[in-house]
Amino acid sequence: MEHRCSIRKPIEFQLLLYRQGLPVQSAVCRNLGLGGMLIYTGASAWRKNEYLEVEIMECNDRPGMKLPAVVVHHSEKGTGVVFDAVSAEQRRILRAWLYDSIPASKVESQSLAVA
């Protein structure tokens, strides 16, 4: 059972996923919270408890960042990850992504579909 300390906001934007420091896949965020996110990875399946880094790409004048994460589940809806060791500055940026208004049309126009 998941115990979230913050809301998850439905928002789409482009991501890059890294394994052992190397970019291995592009993906799209489906929803975002202070503690984690649900990402659409297409046909790729990530294993539970697998470590990866999630790079949030810059979008609509919002800064991007790379966050360490752990896979907590995978289904046809996407891969759920929780962030690991988020700094105060990264948390501030996440709060800006979550609580500052972003016009949905701008976010959707800049998000990329995973092939």
Q: Whole-model pTM?
A: 0.74
Q: Return the CATH fold of 9-107.
A: Thrombin, subunit H (2.40.10)
pLDDT in tens, 21-76: 999 999 999 998 888 999 998 877 788 999 999 998 876 677 778 999 999 988 88
pLDDT at 52: 93
DSSP 57: P
Cα within 13 Å of Cα(24), Cβ side: 14
Contact (CB, 8 A) for 6 and 45: no
pLDDT in tens, 66-108: 999 999 988 888 899 999 888 888 888 888 878 875 444 344 4
b/e string for 1-26 if b means 16 or more Cβ within 10 A? eeeeeeebeebbbbbbbbeeeeeebb
Q: The tokens of 37 are what?
A: 């996110």
Structural domain boundaries of the chain? 9-107
Q: Judge whether residue 1 has pLDDT over 50.
A: no
Integer Cα distance of 58 and 110 in angstroms: 10
